[in-house]
Amino acid sequence: MLNQLWRARPANHFRYKTVAGFLACFFGVLGLQGWYLKRPIAPVITLFSLAMLAWSFTQPVWWDSMPFFFLFIPLWAGFIESAVYCLIADAKFDALYNVNQLRRKPSGVPPGLMALLNLLIAGMVCMFTLSMVVAHVTCLDMAC
């Protein structure tokens, strides 16, 4: 049952690895790549993210609240999925997301460039999230 939630439904249009990687990298926190790939779990991820974002705006300092930290979960999932989509072989991607559709030409260089951009952005976000976690852990010990 759980495996079926992550499986994509057949689509009328051809799905591209680069588009899926782009959506996962930049909008993964909202789960937009799931909508593009027609995953049944996509609305749940989007609702979770929007609920956490709305809840964080009710806090006195929205960017320094627990709901904002919960947004790091789908954010990191998006970065990981972006790397997977961009680096997966064309045949395997097509078997998962482009069933009964023919690929006109190989993906080529754009997915690799998207994977590099994803790595750069994910590295910066990783440093930000680690610094926020360390700041909160040390602040708990010192009663800031």
pLDDT at site 115: 94
Instruction: List the structure tokens of 82.
Output: 């972006």
pTM recorded for the entire structure: 0.85
Among 83, 80, 89, 84, residue whose Cα is nearest residue 108: 89
| Tens of each residue's pLDDT in the chain, 144 residues | 555 656 677 777 899 999 999 999 999 999 999 999 998 899 999 999 999 999 999 998 888 888 988 999 999 999 999 999 999 999 999 988 988 888 888 889 999 999 999 999 999 998 998 888 888 777 766 666
- Structure-block tokens of residue 81: 């999925």
